[in-house]
Amino acid sequence: MSENNVIQELYKIIETRKESPIEGSYTSYLFEQGLDKILKKVGEESAEVIIGSKNNDTKEIVSEISDLAYHILVLMVAQGVKVEDIVTELETRRKKICNKKQKREDIIGIH
């Protein structure tokens, strides 16, 4: 897999596991267990990214972000969200400048 296409290629593999499950495949297992299991794993991996970051451990951070990215891709396949959808959204956001959201207090006038 090339660096530029690894996300798209992994997405396609995950799609294949959903369409044609393989016994013993972790990806197939996640789809068999359903959306709640996938969401639980996304939550767990998000927390592990936070912990790794708080520990300031680069190796752990890279490992946990990779786990999170994989589980996000599984979630995307489960929900029918394509990699292209994310790329398009990120490209749209990249074009924006001065896009910082206001604090809630500023919006409702609390000081």
**pLDDT attached to residue 96:** 81
Report if pTM > 0.85: no
* DSSP tally for the chain: helices H, then strands E: 6, 0
- Residue 111: pLDDT band (50, 70, 90) is low
Q: Is residue 106 part of a domain?
A: no
**pLDDT attached to residue 104:** 67
**pLDDT attached to residue 100:** 72
Q: Is residue 102 part of a domain?
A: no
**pLDDT attached to residue 107:** 62
Q: Is residue 90 part of a domain?
A: yes
- Number of Cβ atoms within 10 Å of the Cβ of 60: 15
Q: Is residue 111 part of a domain?
A: no
Q: What is the mean pLDDT of the chain?
A: 91
Q: Is residue 24 part of a domain?
A: yes
Q: Is residue 104 part of a domain?
A: no
- Copy the structure tokens of residue 44: 């767990």
CATH of the domain at 18: 1.10.287.1080
The number of distinct structural domains making up the chain is: 1
Q: Is residue 78 part of a domain?
A: yes
Q: Which domain holds residue 36?
A: 3-97
Instruction: Assess whether pLDDT exceeds 70 at residue 79.
Output: yes
